[in-house]
Structure 1
């Protein structure tokens, strides 16, 4: 490979400064919007909704993962502004990669866990749902976080240099095995959960369509809930994963000029994947109308509160309800258990 390509990719330099300046401003926008949004969601979950009383521990863990991701964005913005794909400081680079891998993995893990909970609650109604027990236990959430830690180890090994991977300076068998293991983890973290999510969603939608015609309003809200997870997952994680696969193909075939473009596409889609922290609150609202009511009554003006809360009351209640501490009315999300 030519020296120019090595200097632009191997040494962490951005192949096109204009592209990465634009991406840095996009990340700045994500940070400006994401920080207050996630802080407000954290506030509602802890002080107004009291997630531990409403069995919404999994949702709260997604909030924590999103918040930690938002906190990492200023470092990435700084690097892009200074024509670096990642920090040239080994400690800073690996710390950032560790945080991004961990937060991304946690967000995916808890989204999938929520989907499996909905799947068993709707498709296998009447059978014992172990996820209901899991969601009430903080120990299970802690176990999921600890389980994710070993999956971040590939980001800390010595062979990793600025997203360097297969086809790049593979000098020893150790390098080759390490790079292979890293890519297996990267892709399995997306592909397997995606198929699980699609399967659960299709089964849930099929089951809901067999319900009575008189429950159309409730069915729409339930289907919106499960579909919101699919949309967030597909729009945030799949594009960057496809771009990563394309980048590996380009590198393995030593297409030097194409690699410069593939790197920019991959980094650009990774930046777009950070919008996950802006879209997840939609999932919270669809999965738990109690949280939505608490958020509306906390941050929306009075005239909007009346209109939005009134629209919720038009959907008939089910026997399962949860009171929010904001003083709003008791509300229930049909077909999805109220957390």
Structure 2
């Protein structure tokens, strides 16, 4: 294929490697099939069994995290369909903008609630006796509503087709309105990067201090301490695996556009970015596993409700006033 035709495909937001994009689509479909029932079942437990709004724990944040992941999952079949058709985004303008809005709003919400949950855990472990605003607000839905509302204006700059096609800061023969275009391009890139870089810095800080604090503790169940260290470390691994690669590839792609690399290199950078964005959707599958199933209480409740044949100790009850789980047989022994 000639360079000119590759360049035109890039500008038209068409896939230059049809087979590879079909593979991307297959990965998204697999993520959707595995993650949707998992997240829906977790959401069902939060609402009908644990009554998360009455809980004094992180359940309100975790509920919103799972909700954001579910809403993001509904975008994947449409995205997969576009890839199968050889398109990097929908040709319909309304569908394209709606997809970008849903993708960035819910991905941003997923990252935000993941970060807030880690901050809350940081205060509980590192500063257990210190009063903080988050500890006071986490029992109320107001902070969750505020996070969703805060993300809405941050999503608006991304609702442009050329962002999805990675055409930010492209050279243009027409110099009119160049300054305005550059400002808009820069604004949405700032939104994209801050949604990942700032939470990553916060997560690193919280994780390092939590791990250090847990390792210094000499009193307590060492098994629980190891599980807690494993949990906070797993959060960092999941975040790094899902979001850092697409962030780095976005930087490479922008450099390729600004420095006007050869069209073939720009195409490779765009294809790599699309593939790593698909990898970022794995977060929807890994979040419930890391945040929910690392809790022995939640795991026992999940098995008791959905796989009772594997539950050897009988049904588990949930205190609706506190959201805490209890095991009748174990309580009788105690």
Kindly state the Cα deviation for residue 28 of structure 1 after the two structures are TM-superposed. Answer: 0.9
1:76 is aligned to 2:79:
yes
Kindly state the Cα deviation for residue 152 of structure 1 after the two structures are TM-superposed. Answer: 0.5
Deviation track 1:126-150 (CA, whole Å, cap 9, x = no partner) reads 1103222221111110110000011
Residue 304 of structure 2: aligned partner:
297
Separation in structure 2 between the aligned mates of residue 93 and residue 328 of structure 1, nearest angstrom? 54
Residue 264 of structure 2: aligned partner:
257
> Structure 2 vs 1, CA of residues 51 and 5 (structure 1 numbering), >3 Å: closer, same or farther?
same
1:238 is aligned to 2:274:
no
- 2:28/2:80 contact within 8 Å kept: yes
Separation in structure 1 between the aligned mates of residue 238 and residue 94 of structure 2, nearest angstrom? 32
> Structure 2 vs 1, CA of residues 33 and 293 (structure 1 numbering), >3 Å: closer, same or farther?
same
Residue 53 of structure 2: aligned partner:
52
Taking structure 2 as the reference length, what is the TM-score of the superposition? 0.88
Separation in structure 2 between the aligned mates of residue 163 and residue 211 of structure 1, nearest angstrom? 48
Residue 319 of structure 2: aligned partner:
none
Q: Secondary structure at the match of 2:78?
A: helix
- 1:106/1:148 contact within 8 Å kept: yes
- 2:105/2:152 contact within 8 Å kept: yes
Q: Secondary structure at the match of 2:251?
A: helix
Separation in structure 2 between the aligned mates of residue 156 and residue 33 of structure 1, nearest angstrom? 28
Kindly state the Cα deviation for residue 158 of structure 1 after the two structures are TM-superposed. Answer: 7.8
1:7 is aligned to 2:14:
no
Residue 34 of structure 1: aligned partner:
35
Q: Secondary structure at the match of 1:306?
A: coil
> Structure 2 vs 1, CA of residues 327 and 146 (structure 1 numbering), >3 Å: closer, same or farther?
farther
Separation in structure 2 between the aligned mates of residue 307 and residue 54 of structure 1, nearest angstrom? 24
Separation in structure 2 between the aligned mates of residue 195 and residue 233 of structure 1, nearest angstrom? 11
1:247 is aligned to 2:248:
no
> Structure 2 vs 1, CA of residues 163 and 307 (structure 1 numbering), >3 Å: closer, same or farther?
farther
1:227 is aligned to 2:233:
yes
Q: Secondary structure at the match of 2:168?
A: coil
Residue 150 of structure 2: aligned partner:
147
Residue 63 of structure 1: aligned partner:
66
2:88 to 78, 85, 90: 85
- 1:62/1:106 contact within 8 Å kept: yes
1:115 is aligned to 2:118:
yes
Deviation track 1:160-219 (CA, whole Å, cap 9, x = no partner) reads 563321235484111111001111111111111111100111011111111116531121
Kindly state the Cα deviation for residue 54 of structure 1 after the two structures are TM-superposed. Answer: 2.1
1:174 is aligned to 2:187:
no
Deviation track 1:104-156 (CA, whole Å, cap 9, x = no partner) reads 11011111101111111111121103222221111110110000011101123
Kindly state the Cα deviation for residue 10 of structure 1 after the two structures are TM-superposed. Answer: 1.1
> Structure 2 vs 1, CA of residues 118 and 323 (structure 1 numbering), >3 Å: closer, same or farther?
closer
Kindly state the Cα deviation for residue 225 of structure 1 after the two structures are TM-superposed. Answer: 2.1
Kindly state the Cα deviation for residue 306 of structure 1 after the two structures are TM-superposed. Answer: 2.5
1:193 is aligned to 2:194:
no
- 1:20/1:80 contact within 8 Å kept: yes
Kindly state the Cα deviation for residue 324 of structure 1 after the two structures are TM-superposed. Answer: 3.1
- 1:98/1:156 contact within 8 Å kept: yes
Gaps of 5+ in 2: 317-321
Deviation track 1:202-257 (CA, whole Å, cap 9, x = no partner) reads 01111111111653112112112212221221111111111111111111222221
Separation in structure 2 between the aligned mates of residue 179 and residue 123 of structure 1, nearest angstrom? 40
> Structure 2 vs 1, CA of residues 326 and 138 (structure 1 numbering), >3 Å: closer, same or farther?
farther
Taking structure 1 as the reference length, what is the TM-score of the superposition? 0.87
